[in-house]
Amino acid sequence: MTSSPLLRISLRTAICRVALFILLAPNFAVAQSEWLAPPITVKADGIPNIPASLGAAMQGYISSSSDSPVGWDPVNGGLVFTRRQTNRPWMLTSIASTGGPPSEIRAFPLGGSNVHQNPKRRYLVFEYDPTPGTERMQLQGYDVEKRAVVLLTNLESRNYYPVFSNTGDKMMYSSTKRDGKHMDLYCMNTGDPKSDRMSHSSTAKTGPCSTGRQMTVKSFSASS
């Protein structure tokens, strides 16, 4: 059985079309990848195509970071600093030497706003608001070597300004735990909430500044 010339031409045309599609398919994919695809929940009606190169150029503005020094690591002498990155929790970070790679120590607790470095040991105290917006700041201790977290305050009072003694074994801070209103000074052994005791009562907001055996108290009074 022989095929007609017309059938042979049709088969030849179909084969050529398939081969052409196979050859051009990668180019189609490349062409499609040159544009940013809209989310599946968005219907792009009358919106011009957005070049993919624009998305790459915007990454430097969408994701950014800023660093703030906290202190020096008392063991290896490296710099300890806070790194704030877009859409990521604040991270306590360190660099052992100039130009070295950063090493993450621990993420800030939810509502964390500040951290304080013990001058003699790898121990840190975070200031954080467990329910962000209530401004009921608490103090959380963190032992870097043991990777141990301990709550230093009672979750009810407002607590600020933790300061370590020069020897690193004591910590003072201000708290409203006495009456819920006035800032008094409290002292505790580093990392031991049970040793907490009030060392100075005040009717005004105060913040401690300790040098070991002596302490300077800053007082802020509202004008009447």
| Structural domain harbouring 63 | 58-107
Q: Answer yes or no: do 191 and 97 share one domain.
A: no
pLDDT exceeds cutoff 50 at 81 = yes
pLDDT of residue 117: 93
Paired strand residues for 206:
219
The answer to the question of residue 21 being in a domain is no
The answer to the question of residue 45 being in a domain is no
The answer to the question of residue 13 being in a domain is no
Last residue of a domain, one of 49, 72, 107: 107
Determine contact, residues 171/125, Cβ cutoff 8 Å: yes
Strand, coil or helix: 44: coil
Q: Answer yes or no: do 211 and 113 share one domain.
A: yes
Question: Could you report the per-residue pLDDT of 111-145, keeping only the tens digit for each?
Answer: 898 999 999 999 999 999 998 888 899 999 999 99
The answer to the question of residue 5 being in a domain is no
Q: Answer yes or no: do 185 and 86 share one domain.
A: no
Q: Answer yes or no: do 115 and 95 share one domain.
A: no
Over residues 88-101, the mean pLDDT reads 89
pLDDT of residue 212: 58
Q: Answer yes or no: do 160 and 221 share one domain.
A: yes
Determine contact, residues 63/86, Cβ cutoff 8 Å: yes
pLDDT of residue 114: 92
pLDDT exceeds cutoff 80 at 8 = no
Q: Answer yes or no: do 102 and 154 share one domain.
A: no
pLDDT of residue 66: 86
Question: Could you report the per-residue pLDDT of 22-49, keeping only the tens digit for each?
Answer: 444 444 444 456 887 777 787 778 888 8
The answer to the question of residue 43 being in a domain is no
pLDDT of residue 52: 81
Number of structural domains (the chain) is: 2
The answer to the question of residue 150 being in a domain is yes
Q: Answer yes or no: do 177 and 206 share one domain.
A: yes
Residue ranges of alpha helices (H) inside 100-198 are none
Q: Answer yes or no: do 103 and 113 share one domain.
A: no
Q: Answer yes or no: do 176 and 84 share one domain.
A: no
pLDDT exceeds cutoff 70 at 50 = yes
Query: The whole model's pTM is what?
Result: 0.65
pLDDT of residue 39: 75
DSSP category for residue 102 = P
Last residue of a domain, one of 82, 107, 132: 107
pLDDT of residue 20: 45
State the Cα–Cα distance between residues 38 and 202, nearest whole angstrom. Answer: 60
Question: Could you report the per-residue pLDDT of 192-224, keeping only the tens digit for each?
Answer: 889 999 888 865 555 565 555 666 666 655 555
